[in-house]
Amino acid sequence: MLASAVVILALVAVLLLVPDAVRVYATNMMGALRAPGEPAFVAGHRGDRADAPENTMPAFQAAFASRLEFVETDVQLTLDGVPVLMHDETVDRTTDGTGAVAELTLEQIRALDAGSWYAPEFAGTRVPLFDEFLDALAGNRQKALVELKGFWTPAGVRTVLDAIYLRGVQNRVVFASFNLTTVAHLADTAPAIPRVIIKRDLPRDPVGLANYYDAIAIITTPTSLEHDPEAVTRMHEAGLGVLVYTLNSEKRWSEALAYGVDGIITDKPSKLDGWIAATAPGT
Ligand code: G3P
Ligand code: CA
């Protein structure tokens, strides 16, 4: 009788402790949540696309060589199920090829030139594998904001997850997605890796949305914050972070800091980093 009571108590203790063991809070990944005017962290959008073609290894190397805290990228699966980095659904804008990423094999995508459209000196640059990005991440100190583009199945999530754990960088990765089903699959399949929801327009109850999906933060737009200026305070009171995208001017940066956002995603990461160092104390 006593033995079964002990077993039951032990089971209850395990059930109570396990969720906490995998719980990651916004502050773990972003530092203390910001008060209005405090410096936000900088995330290089698609690497440092002011310096090199977006979502290519030169853009990531530029970002990793800088003082940035986060490097953002977009992941999609090729027809044969290999994670590669590209923002658009098709390869048309950023390579010399045509067609949807999901309808091209890895071999076809790797044959494309992803640099000439940007500048002649990047001719021959390839569409990177997610593995290459992770190798570079492993050799640097930054954190990665990894956006899974579109809808992802649990099996797809497991592919990127295995690559992350293989390199031991799981404590420096935050997943992001616009797609709420993908966010749910991330929560189920990769509970120990924090996730953020991207919402161009904030819902009426962003805290409820983030908590429902067990997300640590929401990424939104300045326009959305203009419509609901108290949203940042409500998120922070709930222990949740707020990031804004994609802000590229001093005017926008200073408006964002005034709201007390925790992170700014920008196409001009070095400029923003320098601007924050010069204008906002504490960096
Ligand atoms: O992380 C936010 C931002 O990257 C989402 O917009 O279209 O540039 O992927 P997009
Ligand atoms: Ca993105």
pLDDT, tens digit (0-9, with 9 covering 90-100), for 11-70: 445 444 444 456 899 999 999 999 999 999 999 999 999 999 999 999 999 999 999 999
**How confident is residue 280, by pLDDT bands cut at 50, 70 and 90?**
confident
Q: Which atom of ligand 1 is nearest to the CA of 145?
A: 1
The answer to whether residue 1 sits within a structural domain is: no
Domain assignment present for 216 = yes
**147 Cβ below 6 A of ligand 1:** yes
- Asked if the structure places residue 93 within a domain, the reply is yes
Within-domain flag for 3 = no
255's tokens: 């408006």
* 64 ligand 1 Cβ < 6 A: no
Q: Which atom of ligand 1 is nearest to the CA of 245?
A: 2
- 99 pLDDT more than 50: yes
Label residue 89 exposed, middle or buried (CB < 10 Å: 0-12, 13-18, 19+).
middle
Q: How many CA atoms lie within 13 A of 51 on its CB side?
A: 21
CB 92 within 8 A of CB 98: yes
**Assigned domain for 27 exists:** no
Question: Can you tell me the mean pLDDT for 97-120?
Answer: 98
54 ligand 1 Cβ < 6 A: no
Q: Report the pLDDT averaged over residues 60-83.
A: 98
Cβ(60) to ligand 1 under 6 A? no
Q: How far apart are the C-alpha atoms of 42 and 52, rounded to whole Å?
A: 18
If you measure from the C-alpha of residue 154 to the centroid of ligand 2, how many angstroms do you get, rounded to a whole number?
Answer: 20
Q: Is the pLDDT of residue 157 over 80?
A: yes
Residue type, 273: D
Among 198, 243, 262, 267, name the best residue to mutate to test ligand 1's pocket (greatest count of ligand atoms within 8 A of Cβ).
198
Q: Which of 42, 49, 70, 72 to mutate to test the pocket of ligand 1 (most atoms within 8 A of CB)?
A: 72
144 belongs to a structural domain: yes
Q: Is residue 19 part of a domain?
A: no
- The reply to whether 6 falls in a domain is no
Q: What's the domain range around 144?
A: 37-279
Q: Is the CB of 198 under 6 A from ligand 1?
A: yes
Ligand nearest to the CA of 198: 1
pTM of the entire structure?
Answer: 0.93
pLDDT score of 2 more than 80 = no
Tell me how far apart the alpha carbons of residues 34 and 41 are, in angstroms, rounded to a whole number.
10
Cα end-to-end distance, the chain, whole Å? 60
Which residues have CB under 8 Å from 5's CB, separation 6+? none
Give the H or E element holding residue 77.
strand 70-77
Here the CATH number for the domain that contains residue 191 is: 3.20.20.190
Is the pLDDT assigned to residue 211 strictly greater than 70?
yes
Ligand 1 contact, 87 CB (< 6 A): yes
Average pLDDT of span 219-223: 97
Amino acid 23: pLDDT: 82
Number of domains in the chain: 1
Distance from residue 73's CA to the centre of ligand 2 (Å): 6
Q: How far is the CA of 255 from the centre of ligand 2 (A)?
A: 21
Taking the mean position of all CA atoms in its chain, how far away is CA 36? 23
Q: Name residue 210's amino acid.
A: A
Q: Is 92 left (phi over 0), alpha (psi -120 to 50) or beta?
A: alpha
pLDDT band for position 232 (cuts 50, 70, 90): very high
pLDDT, tens only, 113-138: 999 999 999 999 999 999 999 999 99
